[in-house]
């Protein structure tokens, strides 16, 4: 399988602005396993002051927060979605975000790119960051 290169991506100034305007982050694929990247990143973001919303098919609570099975189930505003799922699932997650209509930013983690889905998100007014780690980018900008 050939890796997709991001043709849609925010620059460093936009990424800084995204973090400054974000309060709530839904972590799509947040594992309860503390050794997994999704858990480590979510814990970092939580410690940095963001409200974390776990989206995971199992568990009732991760990192002290109620777990939702899908983005659709979250009953309050989410500013950003941080995706830790395979590239073929990204389009489905972005479709859910578009359906919600209240997501400001779609972020895909290192190695995750779906340019077609990213274009759809941009067309709906969302900011898009692909193939970057929220923990690394936040730490580089704010510490």
CB 43 within 8 A of CB 62: no
CB 96 within 8 A of CB 121: no
Q: Say if residue 1's pLDDT is above 50.
A: no
pLDDT band at 8 (very low <50, low <70, confident <90, very high): confident
Average confidence (pLDDT) over 71-78? 97
pTM over 0.85? The answer is yes
CATH top-level class of 12-142: alpha beta
Which pLDDT tens digit goes with each residue over 19-39?
A: 999 999 999 999 999 999 999
Q: How far apart are CA 129 and CA 18, in angstroms?
A: 10
pLDDT (average), residues 90-102: 96
pLDDT in the model for residue 124 = 96
For residue 2, pLDDT beyond 80:
no
The whole-number pLDDT of residue 4 equals: 73
pLDDT tens digits, residue range 51-71? 999 999 999 999 999 999 999
Q: What is the pLDDT of residue 3?
A: 63
Interatomic CA distance for residues 124 and 8, integer angstroms: 14
Structure confidence by residue, pLDDT tens digits, 108-140: 999 999 999 999 999 999 999 999 999 999 999
Strand 61-62 and strand 65-66: the pairing is: antiparallel
Selection from 33, 50, 135, 38 nearest residue 85 by Cα: 38
């Amino acid at each position: 399988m050939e890796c997709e290169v991001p043709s849609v991506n925010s620059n460093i100034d936009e990424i800084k602005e995204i973090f400054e305007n974000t309060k709530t982050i839904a972590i799509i694929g947040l594992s309860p396993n503390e050794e997994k990247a999704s858990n480590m990143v979510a814990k970092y973001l939580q410690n940095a002051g963001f409200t974390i919303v776990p989206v995971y098919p199992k568990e009732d609570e991760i990192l002290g927060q109620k777990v939702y099975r899908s983005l659709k189930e979250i009953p309050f505003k989410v500013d950003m979605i941080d995706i830790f799922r395979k590239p073929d699932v990204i389009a489905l997650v972005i479709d859910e975000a578009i359906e919600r209509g209240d997501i400001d930013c779609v972020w895909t983690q290192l190695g995750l790119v779906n340019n077609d889905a990213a274009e759809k998100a941009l067309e709906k007014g969302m900011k898009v960051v692909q193939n970057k780690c929220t923990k690394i980018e936040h730490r580089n900008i704010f510490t």
